[in-house]
Amino acid sequence: MRSIATLFLALGTLAAQTAPTALPNPLPVGLSQRTLDLAGLPLEVFFYMPKDWNGERMLFVFHGVLRNADEYCKDAVGMGDRFGMLVVAPKFDAERFPSRCYQRGGILREDGTAAPPAEWTYARVPQIAAMVRALTDKPKLKHWLIGHSAGGQFALRMSAFQDTGAERIVAANPGSVLMPDLEAPFGYGFGTLPTELVGEARLKQYLAAPLTLYLGTADDKPDEYFDNSKDALVTGNGRHQRNLALYWTARTLAKERNWPFGWRLIEAEGVGHDHSAMFAHAQCESALFGPQSSKEAVPDQPPARR
């Protein structure tokens, strides 16, 4: 009898050792919110987990100038369900992350000197990704990035400076663009940056990034948030125009210098400056995962001016 009892005790111990350990405070199905501690920086992050999420994909969603990450997360529910993705929407509040730190990534300090990479707002993205992998116990979880408007600017400029580890970076309707130009002032080009942040190697990295410019073709009507500064107007009078100019300038430069070119141009026909419409549009899938048919391929030459 004693040997049988010993056997059952051993089997019970083995079962306890091999049984999966429950994650402390796991992310729930549906919408939720957490405050993550990023090396001493508390950051509010909104989540949406689809009911049948298989643990393979997550999608970062970057809000616009209104800092409405909660709204963006709710409006990304459709993407989460359609594409089987855990939605992760960090909030970069205006008090701690003004345009210098959000739209322009915090690569410069207030006095114009170069900030160390660990201080960049861009560096928070891989930190959050690592924390979400730990929260979900999915160490191989792949991630994609999409930002709209000011969030599109954040995503666009980040592609030039930060190795995010993302499968794809989607900049949707950014209002100002980062031209591959060493003379234009930073924000619109790479000029005026400290020497350690700029150079041909930086341009080559930028053009090789897995970047999609995802554009609403009707997004050419300036609004109260539109950048109408002199430097911005050089690239076009509307968001759609500016991003077309960016794409074709970048593609031409990469071809001339025989550099790798990782960008895509995807357009949502008839959509204006509306993040929810961009997220819901059928072309959003192509922006994230590549053209779904040969008809969506970008021509070898830019369209003729009308």
pLDDT digits (tens, 9 = 90+) for 147-186: 999 999 999 999 999 999 999 999 999 999 999 999 999 9
Nearest to 245 by CA among 292, 178, 290: 178
What confidence score (pLDDT) does residue 8 get? 42
Rounded CA-CA distance 251/304 in Å is 16
Mean pLDDT of 115-143: 97
| Separation between Cα atoms, residue 250 and residue 158, nearest integer Å | 16
Strands (E) located in the chain: 30-38, 41-49, 57-62, 85-90, 142-148, 169-172, 211-216, 264-268
What domains appear along the chain, each with residue ranges and CATH number?
27-296 (3.40.50.1820)
pLDDT at position 3 is 53
The 10 Å Cβ neighbour count of residue 162 is: 21
Instruction: Identify the burial level of 218 via C-beta atoms within 10 angstroms of its C-beta, where 0-12 means exposed, 13-18 middle and 19 or more buried.
Output: middle
C-alpha separations of 287 from 10, 209, 261, 280 in Å: 54, 14, 16, 12
- Per-residue pLDDT for 234 more than 60? yes
d(CA 11, CA 169): 49
Percent of the chain at pLDDT > 90 equals 82
Each residue of 114-128: pLDDT tens digit? 999 999 999 999 999
Contact in structure between 250 and 207 (CB atoms under 8 Å): yes
pLDDT for 227 beyond 50:
yes
Tally of CA atoms within 13 A in the half-sphere of 174 that contains its CB: 34
CA distance 82 to 146: 15
Mean pLDDT of the chain: 91
Contacts of 173 (CB under 8 A, 6+ apart): 148, 149, 152, 214, 215, 216, 219, 239, 240, 243, 273, 275, 278
Q: At 145, which amino acid appears?
A: L
pLDDT grade for 20, boundaries at 50, 70 and 90: very low
Q: Is the pLDDT of residue 75 over 70?
A: yes
In this prediction, residues 19-40 reach a mean pLDDT of 82
The predicted model gives 185-202 an average pLDDT of 96
What residues contact residue 122 under an 8 Å CB cut-off, 6+ apart?
A: 105, 106, 107, 158, 161, 162, 164
Give the model's confidence band at 7: pLDDT under 50 very low, under 70 low, under 90 confident, else very high. Answer: very low
pLDDT at residue number 294: 57
What percent of the chain is modeled with pLDDT above 70?
A: 88
Residues 253 and 202: beta-carbon distance below 8 Å: no
**Average pLDDT over every residue of 122-138:** 97
* Six-digit token string for 210: 């897995």
Of 153, 132, 160, 179, which Cα lies nearest the Cα of 38?
Answer: 132
Residues 214, 224: Cα–Cα separation, whole Å: 22
